[in-house]
Amino acid sequence: MKWALISVWDKTGIIDLARTLAGQKYSIMSSGGTGKVLAEAGIKFTEVSSYTGFPEMMDGRVKTLHPKVHGGLLGRRPIDDAVMTKYGINRIDLLVVNLYPFEKMSEQNMNLEELIEYIDVGGPAMIRAAAKNYKDVAVVVDPSDYPMITRSVSGTGFTPEDRLMLAKKAFARTAAYDAAISNYLYRLDADFPPVFTVQYAGGRTLRYGENPHQKAAVYGTRGVAGTEPVQGKQMSYNNYLDVNAGVGLVREFDEPAAVIMKHNNPCGVAINAGVFDAYIAARAVDPASAYGSAVSVNREVDGNLAQEICNTYVEVIVASAYSPEALEIMKKKNTMRVLRLPEKIESDEIRTIEGGVLVQRTPAYQEHWEVITDRDPTPDEMKALQLAWKVCKHTKSNTIIFADQKRTLGIGAGQMSRVDSAKIAIEKACGSLKGSAVASDAFLPFADTLEVAAQAGATALVQPGGSIRDKEVIEAANRHNMAMVFTGVRHFRH
């Protein structure tokens, strides 16, 4: 006789699975809420308490923690048959379990005493026991696997490969569950725990990493990590990095905006009354660099914009939506990845270093824009400063951004010297910088960068402030009749 033990919090699909098991001559064992659901559906089962001879107790905290349950899961066939027979332990051939929703409930405003009751003990113990004995016991923790279970029990049974795959998923689930509990408890009295544990599902192997000789994969089921093309080629490692950078920047804008990203830095950013004009303006900032770029827009792509995008070699396009006509047009570019702008996910930033990781969290913060020069920015200058500052926050340091009210004009990124960043931005400028605004991601340690920007035609500058030489820089700004604003917040990106 084959036995299946079913104990699930998420009841999705469980009635159909139980009916299949009963039809395939499985004897079903269950308890608590799962047993009630099976009884209401008219499915016969044996109560766990009836099998063990021990009642459920302590408000359900103890029901499956018993040698007759764990012996049925851990017993090796035929090594432990004699012991199992001696103590009346049934072989449990299939375990179907999912856990109390600790992760979901921990996001609610619950006190610790309430939340503790959502820490499953019996479930993980059974899962680990069955997974350890996977050669004899199939363990199912994910309702999406029920169709495969149905096919297996209705056909030739579980293959060794099936059993090992299910065991891998089982151990991954208990590891993630324990990690969620550990991280939550540590966060009660510390921003960062002494032991940092993280797990991401949905792993997909990529063709290669940053370069063809490197191996890579992407993990995650939400946000940019969970986004895959609606059409076009598979995403690459570098595509994901560029999309992540571009999406972060385009979300800064409420008005129609276009961001053209190359190697994790913007090479053109523009806003306009319509997204078509924004894209044209952004591409015109640096047309050469736009070749092979990742484009992000925060409005629907229609047929006209799709055609314009296809006129340039674009690696990836990310947009909030696409018209049917646009998708049809972009099918002609079968190597171009077409993505939908994902929902924003708040999470820690994690970067690997040799032997470990760096973890960074950006709490809610408020900038305080203060004019510290003799002259206030004009309304047009202020609009340009705001645009330049938004782009500056998403460009590699040291960075200097020149902009007008609607687009970036010159971008200098990733230089060891801030003055060199300014010179590069001026050299790459798409037109005259007369009357432009300039942004610096960190304070100006000397007046030299401001001097270079002023000579190029900039009339306003925004920076965090905080240098020991702020007074010298302010004096230089006043000499050039430049308006300067301090924000009080630095935006290094390394």
**Which residues contact residue 351 at a Cβ distance below 8 angstroms, ignoring those fewer than 6 apart?**
357, 358, 360
β 293-297/483-486 pair status: unpaired
Residue 174 exposure: Cα atoms within 13 Å on the Cβ side:
21
Rg (CA), the chain: 30
Helix, strand, coil shares of the chain, percent, nearest 5, are 35, 20, 45
Give the closest residue to 35 by CA, choosing from 72, 5, 1, 73: 5
How many Å apart are CA 277 and CA 270, to the nearest integer?
A: 9
For the annotated catalytic residues, the residue numbers are: 132, 263
CB contact at 8 A, 174 and 127:
yes
Please classify residue 201 by burial: count the beta carbons closer than 10 Å to its beta carbon, then call 0-12 exposed, 13-18 middle and 19+ buried.
middle
Give the closest residue to 8 by CA, choosing from 248, 227, 173, 189: 173
How many Å apart are CA 494 and CA 284, to the nearest integer?
A: 27
